[in-house]
Amino acid sequence: MNDRHPLDGGGKPGSGPGTSTLEQTSAPHPDWTMVDEGWGRKAVDFATLSELGNCREYVAVHQRLGVGEDDRLLDVACGSGLAVELAGARGAACAGIDASPRLVAVARDRSPDADLRVGDMRDLPWADASFDVATSFRGIWGTTPDALYEIHRVLVPGGRLGLTVWGHIKTSPGAWALAPFQLAAPAKVRNQAAMQLGRPGAGEELLTCCGFADIERVDVPFVWEFADPEAYARAVAATGPAYEAMQNVGEAAFLEAATDQARRQVRDGLPLRAPIAVVGYLARKPLLGEAAVR
């Protein structure tokens, strides 16, 4: 599942220079079965209006990882499955998992031959060393290290990992496109910021703690484009962060605020365009006999 939460660009609230990423993840996990309330309620809108804008991100990471015909690939938080479909087009044998049954239904429609399951990414239902490649597109956070331990388990020795997270959004030209999510209750907004791995060193530290090696941080292309303000509002309304905002202000108020925000970005004869900073992490599971980095 993608487009999880916006990044405020700052550090984790309450974190100090001596606080590690793993030490900041002690809060209890929410029930993963509740994710479908936010993300699954408008699954078709998300798949057709929102997720298509993520294609640059998916293609760039697949290219970096060299995904091809000999690969068994797992996409974690696969959502409506566009990344799975694109990996399959490169010849990979694909699997995926997401917490939203309604999004997985769309993913299965897109990729009938893939092994797509509803479940908890912190308890993957596959055997050890089942995959050559694992990906997750803005679906893993500083609050979910158990998912990375599980990915490490199901990768073969030498297996490759590619994951993305929001970068420094405040400096992004397209920051306006995520602004309506700030209508969520203050505690929700603070939690969104606290989940992030985009700040320097955060992702590298977490991946190292989870046993990965050869960690590389890269910039990943990401641009949302929309035909008009109404199309933008409908697309972002289908996301989980929008659901949190609507819980606070109501759907009508959210849609009005989103449409007004987009009207300021209208350009004659051109689409609404929102380039947003996204960070990618590339890594691998050490070979057998190679010292694991922990």
75: CATH? 3.40.50.150
Domain enclosing residue 63, as ranges: 24-169+197-224+276-284
Tell me what the pLDDT averaged over the chain comes to. Answer: 89
Strand partners, 218: 280
35: confidence class by pLDDT, cuts 50, 70, 90: confident
Asked whether residue 261 is assigned to any structural domain, the reply reads: no
Asked whether residue 18 is assigned to any structural domain, the reply reads: no
* Residue 86 to residues 36, 68, 73, 80, Cα–Cα distance (Å): 23, 11, 11, 12
Asked whether residue 239 is assigned to any structural domain, the reply reads: no
Asked whether residue 264 is assigned to any structural domain, the reply reads: no
Q: 103 versus 21: which is more confidently predicted?
A: 103
Asked whether residue 245 is assigned to any structural domain, the reply reads: no
Q: Are 193 and 10 in contact (CB under 8 A)?
A: yes
Q: Are 233 and 263 in contact (CB under 8 A)?
A: no
Q: Are 222 and 276 in contact (CB under 8 A)?
A: yes
Asked whether residue 253 is assigned to any structural domain, the reply reads: no
Asked whether residue 255 is assigned to any structural domain, the reply reads: no
4: confidence class by pLDDT, cuts 50, 70, 90: very low
Domain count, the chain: 1
Instruction: Provide the percentage of residues in the chain whose pLDDT is more than 90.
Output: 78
Asked whether residue 234 is assigned to any structural domain, the reply reads: no
